[in-house]
């Protein structure tokens, strides 16, 4: 049910895809009989964007050409799981200039620098 789309400037423009909502309701009804029997009611239908990169690898590190500007994004659905480790690595990077707990080189924002002027 995922799709590639540009994130709109206005969050109010983010809208769920009706077909995706129907799939989710159908799946939910296989998990709980309350949905099948109509005991549960849907309070809201919404959509969100997952931060993903073109190469499916998170972007973690100092932004090239912008001293003191760090990013840690693009974890997709793994952000909650990897957030604590990412936070610890970025804290070391900011405070010490490098991370000793994980090699951040493969996550460098510099890999996208050829695509955009920083």
Phi and psi at residue 97, in whole multiples of 5°? 90, -10
Residue with more model confidence, 33 or 37? 33
Read off the pTM.
0.70
Cα separation of the two ends of the chain: 33
> H-type helices in the chain, by residue range?
18-31, 33-36, 79-96
- The whole-number average pLDDT for the span 71-75 is 95
- The whole-number average pLDDT for the span 22-48 is 85
Number of domains the chain contains: 2
Based on the fold, state whether residues 74 and 101 are members of the same structural domain: yes
Q: What confidence category does residue 118 fall into, taking pLDDT thresholds of 50, 70 and 90?
A: very low
Distance CA 21, CA 6 (A): 20
Cα 4 to the center of its chain, rounded Å: 13
Q: What confidence category does residue 82 fall into, taking pLDDT thresholds of 50, 70 and 90?
A: very high
| 4 is a domain residue | no
pLDDT of the residue at 74: 94
pLDDT of the residue at 8: 87
Query: The domain containing residue 22 runs over which residues?
Result: 9-48
CB-based contact 104:61 (threshold 8 Å): yes
């Amino acid at each position: 049910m995922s799709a590639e789309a540009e994130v709109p400037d206005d969050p109010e423009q983010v809208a769920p895809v009706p077909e995706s909502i129907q799939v989710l309701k159908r799946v939910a009804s296989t998990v709980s009989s309350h949905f099948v029997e109509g005991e549960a009611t849907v309070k809201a239908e919404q959509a969100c964007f997952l931060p993903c990169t073109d190469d499916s690898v998170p972007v973690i590190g100092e932004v090239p050409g912008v001293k003191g500007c760090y990013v840690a994004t693009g974890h997709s659905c793994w952000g909650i799981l990897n957030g604590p480790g990412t936070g610890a690595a970025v804290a070391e990077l900011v405070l010490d200039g490098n991370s000793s707990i994980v090699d951040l080189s493969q996550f460098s924002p510099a890999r996208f620098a050829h695509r955009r002027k920083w």
